[in-house]
Structure 1
Amino acid sequence: MTKAPFGSLSAAIAALGTALAFLTLQLRANGYEPYVESVATASIVMYVTAALVVVTWARDRRRHSN
């Protein structure tokens, strides 16, 4: 069985969260206030998801270390 790509998955999700954070700043600067909150929330969800992938990665490594 191959190793799950937790590292690359977490990095890609965090990159998506960063892109959404920059989009939030651009929307705010351009006056699109109705969309700022939802895009910022999506960005935070991406960071939380990336953190949960890292936790899953750590738990998976601990399980296979025995």
Structure 2
Amino acid sequence: MSKKILRCSKCNSPYHFEKQRNWFGRNLLFFLPLRRYFCAKCLKDRYVLITREKLKGYQKV
């Protein structure tokens, strides 16, 4: 069984890499399972609500 790939919600291309969250996300929204990804096609950072357990089902690009 192959693992899924996280895709951009706007253009449906795979995310290029995961970025670190900013100060606001780390210190004030620490209780949310937010991850910040960069889409190379849109040239935008997008936040994804995904837990570590669910993230294990996806492969890194």
Work out which structure has the larger RCO, using CA pairs closer than 8 Å and 6 or more positions apart in sequence: 1
Max Rg structure? 1
Q: Same fold (TM over 0.5)?
A: no
TM bucket normalised to smaller: under 0.3
- Give the TM-score normalised by structure 1: 0.27
More strand as a share of residues:
2
Return the structure number with greater helix share. Answer: 1
